[in-house]
């Protein structure tokens, strides 16, 4: 997979953290004769063209989400996922767009899928924690929040780990003894 980016939306804040870059990938033309197994894997082959198209659609979705056009962003993410159904970044960004459009159930499903594909995606756990709290499931909110904080800590992001733990305390989300 090429370089990918995700829109960060932590703890109910739909702002974008610094460091998220937009990227635009041009899809190359498919040349005759690349349908052989070697051509499928060769630079510029069909697989590369499909991945390039998926990345371009993902990028367009990010741009539209940043402009607040969530339905169009979701549509672009849907099309990107048809080409790259195992890309956790696209599921993550579609979840953020779904949440921003008021589709909490779809957002949870997409965060679930992003986590299934990339179990170390701390921000997906953090966001899913927020959604669980919103829908009245504090036990799941706590479990996801703690997992997010632990992952952020392991990934060298102690500030985000502290932010998550503070958020859990602020919302009085604790284990039931």
Question: Per residue in 61-84, pLDDT tens?
Answer: 999 999 999 999 999 999 999 999
Give Cα 145 to chain centroid, integer Å: 17
- Separation CA 69–CA 117 (nearest Å): 26
- Check residue 11 and give its pLDDT: 41
Domains of the chain (ranges; CATH) run 1-103 (1.25.40), 119-177 (no CATH)
pTM for the full predicted model:
0.76
- Separation CA 44–CA 29 (nearest Å): 8
Short-list 101, 85, 114, 84, CA closest to 6: 114
- Check residue 42 and give its pLDDT: 54
DSSP E strands in 78-144: the ranges are none
């Amino acid at each position: 997979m090429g370089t990918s980016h995700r829109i960060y939306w932590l703890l109910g804040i739909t702002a974008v953290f610094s460091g998220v870059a937009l990227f635009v990938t041009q899809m190359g033309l498919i040349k005759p004769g690349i349908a052989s197994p070697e051509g499928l894997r060769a630079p510029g082959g069909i697989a590369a063209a499909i991945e390039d198209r998926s990345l371009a659609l993902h990028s367009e979705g990010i741009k539209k989400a940043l402009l607040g056009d969530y339905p169009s962003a979701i549509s672009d993410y849907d099309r990107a996922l048809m080409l790259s159904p195992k890309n956790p970044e696209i599921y993550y960004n579609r979840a953020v767009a779904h949440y921003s459009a008021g589709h909490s159930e779809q957002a949870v499903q997409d965060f679930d899928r992003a986590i299934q594909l990339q179990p170390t995606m701390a921000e997906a756990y953090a966001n899913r924690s927020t959604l669980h709290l919103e829908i009245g499931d504090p036990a799941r909110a706590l479990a996801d929040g703690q997992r997010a904080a632990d992952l952020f800590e392991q990934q060298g992001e102690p500030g985000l780990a502290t932010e998550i733990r503070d958020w859990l305390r602020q919302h009085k989300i604790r284990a039931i003894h």
